[in-house]
Structure 1
Amino acid sequence: MNLLKRLQSAYSVVVLSGAGMSAASGIPTFRGRDGLWNQYRPEELATMEAFRRNPQLVWEWYCWRRDLIRGAKPNAGHLALAEMERYFPEFAVITQNVDNLHQTAGTRNITELHGNIMRNLCINTKCSISSEVLDREVARMGKTPARCPECGSLVRPGVVW
C-alpha cells in the first residue's frame, strides 16, 4: 500500500520532525558539513556549566540564534503539516527543532522534544514564575542576561542542555 492510500484511510497521524525541516527555512543545523558544531564547541555554548561560567557569551549566542529564527519563515514542509492537521482527527508533530516554525505555520498539536528557543526558564528549579513573565523580562533586557523578577536567579533559554 502506498503512502497516499495509507493517509486516505488513516485516523491518526504522527509526524517526527528534525533539523532538515527547518534547514529549508535557512535555519542552520548543528551537525553535518556546515553544522554549527563545526564552528562552535557545544560545551562552551549549550550546557548549564557554560552558562554559569559565562552567561553573557551563552546569552549572546542564543540571542543571535533567536534573531536568525525571527527572520525565518515556515517553508512548504511546515505549511503542509499545518494543513494536514486540519484533515485528521488525531494529528501530532513531534519535533527536535526549537525554532517555533511549526507553530508559526499553524500546527497546534506539537511536542517539542528539545524545548523552544523563544521561551525562557528560571535556572532556579524551585521557582514557580511563569515563562510568560520571563519572556517579557527577557524582551525588556535585550542582549543582557535577564534575572528572574521573582527570585533573582538567571533566566536561560527554554531549550534542552
Structure 2
Amino acid sequence: MTDSDTATPTRLSPGDQAPDFTLPDADGNPVSLADRRGRRVVVYCYPAALTPGCTTQAVDFTSAAGEFAEAGLDIIGISPDAPEKLARFREQESLSITLVSDPEKEVMKAYGAFGPKKLYGKEVVGVIRSTFVIDADGRVEKAGYNVKATGHVAKLRRDLGLD
C-alpha cells in the first residue's frame, strides 16, 4: 500500500471539470468520457461486481436506464474488476448499462472515489461508492460520496426530476 492509497482523496464538487478517462468495457472495447460530450453522463463507482450491494445498484440503474436515456443521460459504472468479470456480471444480471474496468484505480482516485473509508466500523482503504452527474460540457453537476446501494437510484431520479 502506498501513501497515495491512504491519503484522503480530493473530492470533486459541482462546477469542477470531470477527469476524462478511457477504460475498457466488459467486452474490452474502450469507453471514453470525452466521447460523451454533448450528453449528460451518470458516472458511478462501485467496489465489486457480483456482490449483493453492487448487484442491487447495477440492476436498479439498468431498470431506470430508459428514463435516464430519455432525459439525455448515459450511465457508466466503474469498478476495479477485470472486463471478463464485468461480462459475467452483465450476463448473470441481464445488465444493459455500460460497465468499465479500472484495475489500477487511477480514474476512481481522480474522482476521489478510492481511499480510506469506514467498513463495519474499521478504517480500510478501498472503493468509496460514489455517483457523479457530468454535464454536457464535461463539468461535474452533482457529486455524491458514500452513497447507499439500496435506494440510491430512486433518490438520484428524484434529484434529477425524473420521477
TM-score surpassing 0.5? no
Structure with more of its chain in strand, by fraction: 2
Higher RCO structure, 1 or 2 (CA under 8 Å, sep 6+): 2
TM-score, length-scaled by structure 2 = 0.28
Larger Rg: 1
TM-score, length-scaled by structure 1 = 0.28
